[in-house]
Structure 1
Amino acid sequence: MNKTFRVSGMHCASCETLINEEVKELSGVTDVATSAKDGICHVSTNDDVADEAIIAAIKAAGYDAVLEAAPSQVEQAIPTEHTIDLVEHDGDRVSFRYLTETRGEGTVDIQGDGRPKFHGEVIRQKSGTLEFPSGIKQEAKEIAQFFESLIQEKAVVQTLPVHREQVIAPKRTVEQENEQKATFVLNGMHCSSCAGVITKSIKKLPGIADAQVSFAAEKARVTFDPRQTNESAIIARIKKAGYRAQVAGSANPDEERARRQQEIRSYWRKFIMGAVLSAPMLYFMFLDFFAFLPGRAFLLPLVGIISFILATPVQIFLGAGFYKGMWSSLRMRTFNMDSLIAIGTSAAFIYSVVSFLVYAFTNNSVLGVGGEKIPELYFETAAFLITFVLMGKWLESKAKGQTSDAVRKLMDLQAKTARVLRDGKPFDVPIGDVVEGDIVIVRPGEKVPVDGIIVNGGSAVDESMLTGESIPVEKHPGDKVIGATVNKNGSFEFRATNIGSETVLAQIIRLVEEAQGSRAPIQAFADRISAKFVPAVIIIAIATFLVWFFLLGSTLSFALMAFTAVIVIACPCALGLATPTAIMVATGKGAQNGILIKGGEPLEAACKVRAIVFDKTGTLTKGKPEVTDVITVGTHDEDEVMEIAAGLEAKSEHPLAEAICRYAEEESLASAQVANFQAVPGHGVRGDVDGVIYYFGNRKLMATLGLDVHRLERKMRRLEEEGKTAMLLANEKEIFGIVAVADAIKATTPSAVASLKRMGLLVYMITGDNMRTASAIARQAGIEEQYVRAEVLPEDKANEVKKIQATGVKVAMVGDGLNDAPALAQADVGIAMGSGTDVAMEAGGIVLMKSDLQDVVSAIQLSRETLGKIKQNLFFSLFYNVIGIPIAARVFIGLGIVLRPELAGLAMALSSVSVVSNSLLLRRFQPNHRNWISTFAPVVMTTVFTVAFVLLARVSVMAAG
């Protein structure tokens, strides 16, 4: 009979051996196969071996186990239908009660890995497993709310009995195995509301699991089921909404850059055309104030007809884009900025046309009677408004282009051609023609075109453009080379292993682009306001008109100008650009410094961190332990001790084993031949050398042998107080000696820890070392002993992080992203450092390309400055609208503060430019340096806009006078 058990706590082959030996001792067990990698133990038994006996044997070996449910058990079990009756949650546990003929109960625990688990049974719907909805944060409160929704819906569910805990994975709208993602480059968006229109349009297609549209990045990321829809259908849907799109992968960097430049030139041409047509009308405005202006008497009667002729092409041709945008939004039953511009300019233009025609028919003349201007005409308002908005769009598109400079610079690193061997002859081919397995030749001074492994020759390679390490790295046959790095003085041949989108550079670019298009949680605030913003502005504008015209008895033209000013001064764009532009600049700047931030969520989370936990080995320390001391006992010499220790450790997978074997090799010592090797988890190792059993490990191992270590305690304590790990070699009768191994801390560790403390962070260290050794390392690093967590097993690191979180602080975990993965996942933000070329690692919301702890400091600093910039942008955009809309509505007319519609349009255009420009100041970010310009920019901007509003109001009063 075959059974499978799920085992927790294993981390190496020694664990497998220990479990196998314990289980094999059971009577009736015929075979055992254990896998530490998969965390399972397969057992073949006779029918009379109880499951509980096997679990007890595994626990005796020091591990926890539960029986894996056989698929047939679940499939053949008879389901029972229920309706959920009661839900309660307390801490990390959710209890639910369901109704059957007899009441049943169940619980859900929120585990350390963040995944909820049902105990005792699997809950199923008739169509399959009832799983949590996508997007749920896996918190007890939210899971309880999910069950409560089942109560309200009176949903019928089914339960199946099982033999172990069933992990309930987040449910996705589209099955994971059929899910596909695509990124689209968008064209034609004018404001953040356009992003909402496109999102709503895409989500109407069948099979769409998720759609995220970024106005700032001008891209859409869509997750869909290819069985129900495809990229062509999505593009067609976007075009139907009034915008243009193409798959991101189909546009090369040069085409993307050309498209951006074309957009900038288009806005520039339209702005210049509008300025040329509007300039004469500006002169006409001055005719009312200055009698000495040349041609005044001649021009006054002609002002009406000339303004009509000049304003018409501005309104119809240059303003066509706004009407098109309004039409697209109306088809989706919403409003956007185009709607506001189209409504405002149309009101001024149509009112002027009607006034002009009424005057012409009444006076039988299209010229002003008696040498005067035709009154009540506001052609210049519509023309100036469109011109100023186009100027703002030109400036905004230029500024937005600069937010993605970092990605373009990364793209520019890519070599254009490669020299490959074909039939034994070298050929220069485009980079896209290189295929996996090609032998590529790299000469001195050339860029490495793709990733690969050196097969011939060698050189020093400059990897600073990707990792930030300034010192060239020596490369020899068998070493990896990274595409876009620069060969220095030698030449070599390498075999291409990763090409196209699989190269490290391509992965970095993709990660940065995805991060730039992501959303930070703080953006939800702006989204809530933006969703109601335009309709609210239209309501305020209509109310302004009604109050002035009907309640206060103003003229029609006065009320209409107030209505128009309110419409055009409101700017949802500034609010919509506040968060994404800052994220785009910050993630790009981070990538340039070897800090890869995987999106807005980890960027914001890093800002809120108040405690930071470092794994010791390889993070605070160099990760390359070395033998520092060999102390013999009695008549035994150092060579004898090291030969036996090296022989034992040669078969061990412990991190310190390599240091001992390397020392023996460097000293030209012959490692002893060991038979019957066995690892003793948490204690050390044992093995047979020439018929004698030797033991090598810690005090606990010696204690099990009954050997007295008290006479060596002073020496061991001295070594441990120096931050060294002391291990003892012995046979069953006596101790031979002590071998001490130390892993030196990195040069930047003390300064980085000090910087983090100055930033107000609590700095913790987690290690498997004993407390004395851990405290010594902590002292060297500058970490207080109260923040040291010693003798922590790898699988318990996540629990330690959870304990710190339980004190009420947000926690960042810094590790290597491999054996620290559970702890990185448990932390509020995981920082995987020293990953080198493994930029796609799942663990860690932030990935550091090199092993410098100062980059942890830089990541936190960049996060704080970015979130501060986002808050500045949000404040400024809200401040602008809060102060601008009342002025436009002429609330302060009693104070002589009035704002003409065209000047309101100018203020609106400049507000978006100001927000983007403020975000661009993040490009001046430098680690460990205060960005003073960025700090004082919002104060200066607020002051400037306040003064500008006053000055524009005075100009408006003069024009009205």
Structure 2
Amino acid sequence: MVIRNFVDMKANKSMEHTSTLNIPVTGMSCAGCAASVEQSIADLPGVNEALVNYASQTLKVTYQPDFVKPESLKQAVQDAGYDLILDEVNGLEKQQEIQRDAYVSLKRRLIFAVILTIPIAILGMFMMDLPYANFIMLALSTPVLFIFGRSFFANAFKQALHLRANMDTLVALSTGTAFLFSTFNTFYPEFWHRRGLHPHVYFEAAAVVIVSIMLGKVLEAGAKANTATAIKKLMGLQPRTLIVLDESGEREIPLSEVQLGAVVLVKPGQQIPVDGALRQGSSYVDESMITGEPVPVLKSVGSQVFAGTINQKGSFQMVATKVGAETTLAQIIKLVQEAQGSKAPIQKLVDKVASVFVPVVLGVAALTLLVWLLLGGVNATTQGLMATVTVLVIACPCALGLATPTALMVGIGKGAAQGILIKDAEALELGVKVNTLIFDKTGTITQGEPVVSTLHYFEHSKPLAAELNQILLSLEQQSEHPLAAAVVKHLQSSTNGVIDLKDFESITGKGVVGSHNGRKYFVGNAALLSSNNISIGDKIEAQASLLQDGAKTLIYFADEEQVLAIATIEDKIKASSAEAIKQLNRSHIEVVMLTGDNEHTAAAVALKVGIKHFKANMLPEDKAAFVKQLQGQGKVVGMIGDGINDSQALATADLSIAMGKGSDIAIDVAGMTLMSSDLMHVPKALKLSRITVKTIRQNLFWAFIYNLIGIPIAAGILYPAFGFMLNPMIAGAAMALSSVSVVANSLRLKYISL
């Protein structure tokens, strides 16, 4: 999906008319590819800034439309070997379809490559003297390299056209050189026999390298298979049509055609299509996707309502005050997309080092051949060529390619077994550096579901408690108030059915009234009792104050004369919240709570769970702004939430963690998802992050130290002093051993306790 945002840059006339595009990119397979795309766009005249996010596969470009057009951007990227999707409506869907097809194709090619490589490896390692063994290996390895592994050679060729090199370049050169060298030895073995040397072949090394790197790519692609569809799901909150009222009556029109000031009819159960103010009627509106709070809000004439929220039981008319891109929901969509498309704060270590490693290895190989030709003596050509091939074989980044995906596979698998789903390596890397964690309150620290914590009958009504429970249940079953459901759930299992009530009435904003056996009964707030001249009394008020602490809502149950009982309703704190926060504090991680709830309730919850810093009455944009404020102070921020209202802050935070029982949008935006509501999984997730990243770094260390030691030996540095030349077969075995050591180190993660 392409987002247009024209910016007036008054400070610089050369940038007065700029446009910003977020465009899906296809064809990238590593961070080096992202750098190539970025550079190809940045070099164009009229482009002010180009940022490529490899994780989200998007390009964010700010350019001057008077000098460059989107089609020119697309052509530049195509010339570099990649592509842009300039479809404003279906771009995201097209990108996901291309990625799915590429993943399926890669898996299929890997399977066929493995089938052919197994007999090659057996022949090359154990049956070298079998008649025609070399020709058999040649026949089997040819499709492995040039059919199933053709993408490495194609990508290396495209990079070479632009005088660039990446991991594909090294894979193609090493395997291609080994293959060509082995093919020559297969057809012309006498060339080496005349010089007293054995014509070794390395078909198995070339095939195993291709399969190993393909395996790494499949593991990485598998981790990214479920590309976030956060924007698509947010857009699903917007109804396609709405009902407007005008002189001709009710008309259903497309959402795109509604105008400011239009009178809109919203029926029970419908999503509110635009932002506006109530003109007629009243209802309760579920605003949890905006505020995160589970209790629907009473709306009456003059009240503000927001697009994407859900009308519950009553119909009302509203006047549209914000439409299209100006609605609160549209702004959330825009901010989430911008956050997801921004430049990743941490690039993968392997890609950073690889950008230097590849050209260095190529230079060493060329230098090896040159030195041998100049100083090698009688057999300079043959030994130089052999040493060059050995350098390229031993330097092949097989272990480097497996270092990250194998650790991720084991770490992510262990996390899944613990109920911790990790989206990508970036989330793991960031988990190590997080020093500030922000918690949403409702549904994260608390259960997110109102329940009756106390139902207290006073002494004068206790003898009739059983019958009064039936009356209370009957009243609340007919009530439209959201808190009534908590009372009904509380009483259903312990009350002997309902009874018929007469003269039932729901009084908006106060409660309900009904009659039984000629006597009126009331359920609601203090205002309901006051309007019916029912005195609460100092004693009952003191008792109510004792039962109601800061995080509870009070409901009165009374007859015509006196208060019979009081009920307190609360959103209970999860049993694990306090201990989880205690552990985080012990780890020197600053914990902050943000909530859309009021200051009094927020303070009570924060006190109970041991949180020192909190902010109440926070809207979605307030939460996101607070995250940016902390980041501006140099803090690495983690955000934990469960609702649509948290999606902006989740997308803005360095590390986002969603509760698995929360909304789909929160889960899609998040880098980690906790499938359990148990907050003890938060410190576990951060520990898993630490040990997995530590393992990745260990793998990369051993992969590179192996090359730092092996490449000079392969080049022949020991030959002048000891007459030792590393056999390419041993180099191939050493390369395989380095891969095995990386995998073995990754498997240790299975046995580490969280």
User: TM tier, shorter chain?
Assistant: 0.5 to 0.7
Equivalent residue runs for 1:529-544 within 5 Å: 530=354, 536-544=360-368
- Taking every aligned residue pair, what percent have the same amino acid on both sides? 31
Q: CA deviation at 1:546?
A: 1.1
Q: Secondary structure at the match of 1:220?
A: helix
User: Bigger CA drift: 270-279 or 713-722?
Assistant: 713-722
Asked if 2 retains the 8 angstrom alpha-carbon contact of 1:392 and 1:913, the reply is no
- The 1:636–1:133 alpha-carbon spacing in structure 2 relative to 1, beyond 3 Å, is farther
CA distance in structure 1 between the partners assigned to 2:138 and 2:731 by the alignment: 21
Q: CA deviation at 1:919?
A: 3.1
Equivalent residue runs for 1:65-84 within 5 Å: none
**1:278 aligned partner:** 128
CA offsets per residue over residues 814-845 of structure 1, 9 Å max, x none? 33335544444444444332429979964544
CA distance in structure 2 between the partners assigned to 1:792 and 1:397 by the alignment: 47
Say if 2:614 is the partner of 1:788.
yes
Q: 1:757 aligns with which of 567, 573, 585?
A: 585
**1:832 aligned partner:** 658
User: Bigger CA drift: 618-627 or 787-796?
Assistant: 787-796
**1:150 aligned partner:** 64
Q: CA deviation at 1:744?
A: 3.7
Q: Secondary structure at the match of 1:564?
A: helix
**1:550 aligned partner:** 374
CA distance in structure 1 between the partners assigned to 2:503 and 2:601 by the alignment: 31
CA distance in structure 2 between the partners assigned to 1:724 and 1:584 by the alignment: 45
Q: Secondary structure at the match of 2:508?
A: strand
Q: CA deviation at 1:343?
A: 1.8
Q: CA deviation at 1:547?
A: 2.0
CA distance in structure 2 between the partners assigned to 1:908 and 1:358 by the alignment: 25
Equivalent residue runs for 1:471-550 within 5 Å: 524-527=348-351, 530=354, 536-550=360-374
Say if 2:545 is the partner of 1:746.
no
- The 1:567–1:632 alpha-carbon spacing in structure 2 relative to 1, beyond 3 Å, is closer
CA offsets per residue over residues 370-395 of structure 1, 9 Å max, x none? xxxx644131xx23x44456677788
**1:907 aligned partner:** 734
CA distance in structure 2 between the partners assigned to 1:530 and 1:544 by the alignment: 20
Q: Secondary structure at the match of 1:278?
A: coil
CA distance in structure 2 between the partners assigned to 1:85 and 1:772 by the alignment: 44
Q: CA deviation at 1:857?
A: 3.4
Q: 2:436 aligns with which of 577, 590, 611?
A: 611
CA distance in structure 2 between the partners assigned to 1:536 and 1:107 by the alignment: 37
**1:51 aligned partner:** none
Equivalent residue runs for 1:372-383 within 5 Å: 375-379=195-199, 382-383=200-201
Asked if 1 retains the 8 angstrom alpha-carbon contact of 2:216 and 2:401, the reply is no
Q: CA deviation at 1:553?
A: 5.4
- The 1:355–1:850 alpha-carbon spacing in structure 2 relative to 1, beyond 3 Å, is closer
TM-score (norm. length: structure 1): 0.47
What is the identity, as a one-letter code, of the residue corresponding to 1:910?
L
Q: CA deviation at 1:544?
A: 1.4
Equivalent residue runs for 1:384-403 within 5 Å: 385-387=202-204
**1:810 aligned partner:** 636
CA distance in structure 2 between the partners assigned to 1:729 and 1:827 by the alignment: 45
- The 1:527–1:822 alpha-carbon spacing in structure 2 relative to 1, beyond 3 Å, is closer
Equivalent residue runs for 1:532-611 within 5 Å: 536-550=360-374, 555-556=379-380, 557-611=382-436
CA offsets per residue over residues 828-879 of structure 1, 9 Å max, x none? 4443324299799645443333322233333333333333333223333222
**1:337 aligned partner:** 171
Number of residues of Structure 1 aligned to a counterpart in Structure 2: 566
**1:220 aligned partner:** 102
CA distance in structure 2 between the partners assigned to 1:138 and 1:541 by the alignment: 33
**2:507 aligned partner:** 677
Say if 2:87 is the partner of 1:174.
yes
CA distance in structure 2 between the partners assigned to 1:528 and 1:780 by the alignment: 45
CA distance in structure 2 between the partners assigned to 1:151 and 1:178 by the alignment: 21
Q: Secondary structure at the match of 2:16?
A: strand
Equivalent residue runs for 1:791-940 within 5 Å: 792=618, 797-798=623-624, 801=627, 804-818=630-644, 820-835=646-661, 842=668, 844-893=670-719, 896=722, 898-924=725-751, 926=753, 928=754
- The 1:267–1:854 alpha-carbon spacing in structure 2 relative to 1, beyond 3 Å, is same
CA distance in structure 1 between the partners assigned to 2:98 and 2:426 by the alignment: 17
**1:422 aligned partner:** none
What is the identity, as a one-letter code, of the residue corresponding to 1:912?
S
CA offsets per residue over residues 264-284 of structure 1, 9 Å max, x none? 45433222222344369xxxx
Asked if 2 retains the 8 angstrom alpha-carbon contact of 1:352 and 1:378, the reply is no
Q: CA deviation at 1:340?
A: 1.5
- The 1:729–1:357 alpha-carbon spacing in structure 2 relative to 1, beyond 3 Å, is closer
CA distance in structure 1 between the partners assigned to 2:132 and 2:539 by the alignment: 103
CA offsets per residue over residues 248-276 of structure 1, 9 Å max, x none? 8xxxxxxx7xx977754543322222234
Q: 2:146 aligns with which of 324, 341, 344?
A: 324
CA distance in structure 2 between the partners assigned to 1:172 and 1:261 by the alignment: 30
TM-score (norm. length: structure 2): 0.58
CA offsets per residue over residues 48-103 of structure 1, 9 Å max, x none? xxxxxxxxxxxxxxxxxxxxxxxxxxxxxxxxxx9976568xxxxxx99637xxxx
What is the identity, as a one-letter code, of the residue corresponding to 1:174?
D
RMSD of equivalent CA atoms: 5.8
- The 1:178–1:314 alpha-carbon spacing in structure 2 relative to 1, beyond 3 Å, is closer
Q: CA deviation at 1:397?
A: 8.9
CA offsets per residue over residues 896-951 of structure 1, 9 Å max, x none? 4753332222212322333334334444455x2xxxxxxxxxxxxxxxxxxxxxxx
Equivalent residue runs for 1:37-76 within 5 Å: none
Asked if 1 retains the 8 angstrom alpha-carbon contact of 2:117 and 2:141, the reply is no
- The 1:823–1:667 alpha-carbon spacing in structure 2 relative to 1, beyond 3 Å, is farther
- The 1:341–1:398 alpha-carbon spacing in structure 2 relative to 1, beyond 3 Å, is closer
Q: Secondary structure at the match of 1:813?
A: strand
Q: Which has the larger radius of gyration?
A: 1
**1:3 aligned partner:** none
What is the identity, as a one-letter code, of the residue corresponding to 1:150?
Q
What is the identity, as a one-letter code, of the residue corresponding to 2:507?
F
**2:117 aligned partner:** 267
Task: Tell which has more relative contact order, 1 or 2 (C-alpha 8 A, sep 6+).
Answer: 2
CA distance in structure 2 between the partners assigned to 1:388 and 1:752 by the alignment: 50
CA distance in structure 2 between the partners assigned to 1:860 and 1:672 by the alignment: 58
What is the identity, as a one-letter code, of the residue corresponding to 1:564?
V
- The 1:555–1:84 alpha-carbon spacing in structure 2 relative to 1, beyond 3 Å, is farther
CA offsets per residue over residues 468-496 of structure 1, 9 Å max, x none? xxxxxxxxxxxxxxxxxxxxxxxxxxxxx
Q: CA deviation at 1:565?
A: 1.9
CA distance in structure 2 between the partners assigned to 1:865 and 1:627 by the alignment: 42
CA distance in structure 2 between the partners assigned to 1:792 and 1:837 by the alignment: 18
Equivalent residue runs for 1:93-104 within 5 Å: 98=16
Asked if 1 retains the 8 angstrom alpha-carbon contact of 2:451 and 2:570, the reply is yes
- The 1:644–1:910 alpha-carbon spacing in structure 2 relative to 1, beyond 3 Å, is same
CA offsets per residue over residues 8-59 of structure 1, 9 Å max, x none? xxxxxxxxxxxxxxxxxxxxxxxxxxxxxxxxxxxxxxxxxxxxxxxxxxxx
Asked if 2 retains the 8 angstrom alpha-carbon contact of 1:521 and 1:604, the reply is no
CA distance in structure 1 between the partners assigned to 2:473 and 2:7 by the alignment: 64
Asked if 2 retains the 8 angstrom alpha-carbon contact of 1:729 and 1:738, the reply is yes
CA distance in structure 1 between the partners assigned to 2:748 and 2:220 by the alignment: 10
